[in-house]
């Protein structure tokens, strides 16, 4: 339960409330008025018609100015205060860094449990709701192993694979659930106890939705973008061709995340979705250690970003390697590739170091890179090509990003 909201949080909640979770309207209004606070000023609410947003949002803005409208919003705030342990807006220091690069990031997150869990290295495990006993066991085993190694397991609190993944990670008290409803309800209702365990065991339950938001079908793809956005990689444990988890995998690929798929029997309908993902380029895995190996450098990069955000003067390579979840795997991997250079840049020629360090695991356009590095396009293109040929850089959807070097 929260003691109070900051003025900035109240403004963000109000705007989110008035536009009924519309990402486009929220963004348009902030851009038009310059800030969230300016967009919800009473004198500006009546001028929302100058912005091309849905008529329902214009009507809600007018209704809010009435005593009845303000009372309804006060009731919403009271519910949030009772239900939330934390509320994170884009300007809050604890808002997850890994979500910031995405244009469709949630402008606000409502949560219960440990907000700091959201900043930790996470791996998503997703799959079919109607999972086979084998699929549930695999999801449980992978979650158990990966959480034991220090990763938080992120999933959607659904039946089947999600449930098994949460249960496996609970054994080491490292799991996060992203919901497609408000915090006032649990979907499915049978998972109320599981949700409580997650909160009580140091994890977190989060949503972008306000109270009284029903579990509508369109809310779950929205939830899935948060699941994948928070995670370093996504494991599809078991999925049919019509499974919603394939949507999560697609979103993760668009975000530049690594996709892992666990294969199964070739005649099993439960695994056809995973086999399809493998054909499309997903990484086939049959042991969680393979996931840790492929995510070693992204894990180290995320930890470094979080450390720099909180203690920029105290970040060292040694501290990163000592405290990141993949310390044993990371040390082993890098010790085989270099003994003298910095662990984040093995075998990188000196003239490419600055460029490599500018790259991240999300992706940057060539124009942005040229601006940041003060390089002309021809020189930059040549350098990027060198990194690509060496296996340290990848071009995806018009963006350049780091990739794990080949061993």
pLDDT digits (tens, 9 = 90+) for 324-366: 565 443 333 323 222 333 334 456 888 998 998 888 766 788 9
Give pLDDT, residue 334: 29
pLDDT of residue 335: 31
Determine the pLDDT at residue 362: 67
In terms of domains, do 61 and 143 share one?
Answer: no
- Co-location of 14 and 79 in the same domain: yes
Q: How many domains does the chain have?
A: 3
| Cβ–Cβ under 8 Å, residues 142 and 168 | yes
The CATH number linked to 249 is: 3.40.50.450
54, part of any domain: yes
Radius of gyration over every alpha carbon of the chain, rounded to an integer in angstroms: 22
- Tell me whether residue 327 is in a domain: no
Whether residues 184 and 45 share a domain: the answer is no
Give residue-wise pLDDT tens across range 195-223: 999 999 999 999 999 999 999 999 999 99
Q: What is the mean pLDDT of each run of 10 residues along the chain (407 residues)?
A: 91 98 97 97 95 95 96 97 97 94 96 96 96 96 96 97 98 97 97 98 98 95 96 96 91 92 94 96 94 83 69 54 49 30 57 88 83 91 89 80 63
Residues 284 and 195 in one domain: yes
- Burial, 123: exposed, middle or buried (Cβ in 10 Å; 0-12, 13-18, 19+)? buried
Looking at the structure, tell me whether residues 128 and 252 fall in a common domain.
yes
| Per-residue confidence (pLDDT) for residue 349, from 0 to 100 | 87
- Of 289, 313, 336, which residue constitutes the final position of a domain? 289
* 324 domain residue, yes or no: no
333 located within any domain: no
Residue 209 and residue 122 in one domain: yes
Dihedral sign for Cα atoms in the order 126, 132, 133, 135 = negative
Q: Specify whether 386 is located in the same domain as 271.
A: no
Share of the chain above pLDDT 90, in %: 73
CA distance 382 to 240: 43
As a whole number of angstroms, the distance between CA 208 and CA 388 comes to 37
Specify whether 127 is located in the same domain as 68: no
Looking at the structure, do residues 358 and 396 belong to the same domain, yes or no? yes
Q: Would the pTM count as exceeding 0.85?
A: no
Q: Are residues 58 and 127 in the same domain?
A: no
Whether 331 maps to a domain, the answer reads no
d(CA 163, CA 165): 5
Residue 295 within any structural domain of the chain: no
- Tell me how far apart the alpha carbons of residues 324 and 330 are, in angstroms, rounded to a whole number: 9
Domain assignment present for residue 2? The answer is no
Q: What would the two tokens of residue 220 be? A: 């779950």
Q: Which residues form the domain of 351?
A: 347-407
Co-location of 386 and 255 in the same domain: no
Same domain for 59 and 23? yes
The pLDDT value given to residue 330? 37
The span from the CA of 8 to the CA of 255, in Å, is 28
Domain end, chosen from 67, 83, 99, is at 83
> Which of 259, 289, 319 marks a domain boundary?
289
- Quick one: which of 152, 220, 166 has its CA closest to 197? 166
Q: Per-residue pLDDT tens for 58-104?
A: 999 999 999 999 999 999 999 999 999 999 999 999 999 999 999 99
CB 243 within 8 A of CB 134: no
Is 106 part of a structural domain of the chain? no
């Amino acid at each position: 339960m929260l003691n109070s909201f900051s003025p900035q949080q109240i403004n963000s909640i109000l705007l989110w409330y008035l536009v009924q979770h519309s990402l486009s309207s929220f963004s348009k209004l902030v851009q038009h008025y310059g800030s969230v606070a300016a967009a919800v000023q009473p004198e500006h609410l009546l001028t929302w018609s100058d912005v091309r947003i849905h008529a329902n949002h214009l009507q809600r803005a007018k209704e809010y100015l009435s005593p009845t409208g303000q009372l309804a919003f006060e009731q919403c705030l009271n519910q949030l205060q009772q239900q939330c342990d934390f509320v994170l807006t884009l300007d809050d220091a604890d808002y997850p860094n890994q979500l910031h690069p995405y244009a469709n990031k949630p402008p606000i997150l409502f949560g219960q449990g440990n907000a700091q869990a959201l900043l930790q290295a996470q791996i998503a495990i997703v799959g079919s709701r109607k999972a086979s006993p084998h699929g549930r066991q695999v999801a449980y085993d992978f979650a158990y192993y990966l959480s034991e190694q220090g990763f938080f397991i992120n999933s959607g609190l659904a039946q089947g694979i999600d449930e098994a993944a949460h249960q496996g990670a609970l054994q080491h008290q490292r799991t996060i659930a992203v919901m497609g409803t408000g915090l006032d309800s649990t979907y499915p209702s049978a998972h109320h106890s599981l949700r409580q365990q997650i909160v009580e065991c140091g994890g977190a339950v989060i949503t972008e939705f306000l109270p009284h938001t029903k579990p509508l079908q369109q809310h779950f793809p929205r939830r899935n973008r948060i699941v994948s956005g928070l995670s370093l990689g996504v494991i599809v444990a078991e999925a049919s061709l019509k499974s919603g988890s394939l949507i999560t995998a697609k979103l993760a690929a668009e975000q530049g995340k690594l996709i892992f798929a666990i294969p199964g029997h070739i005649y099993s309908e439960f695994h056809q979705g995973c086999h399809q993902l493998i054909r499309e380029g997903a990484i086939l895995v049959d042991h969680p250690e393979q996931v840790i190996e492929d995510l070693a450098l992204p894990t180290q990069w995320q930890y470094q970003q979080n450390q720099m955000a909180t203690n920029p003067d105290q970040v060292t390579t040694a501290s990163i390697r000592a405290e990141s979840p993949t310390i044993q795997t990371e040390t082993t991997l890098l010790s085989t590739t270099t003994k003298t250079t910095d662990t984040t840049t093995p075998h990188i020629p000196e003239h490419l170091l600055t460029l490599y360090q500018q790259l991240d695991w999300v992706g940057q356009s060539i124009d942005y890179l040229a601006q940041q590095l003060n390089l002309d396009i021809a020189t930059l293109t040549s350098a990027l090509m060198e990194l690509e040929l060496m296996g340290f850089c990848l071009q995806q959807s018009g963006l350049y990003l780091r990739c794990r070097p080949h061993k």
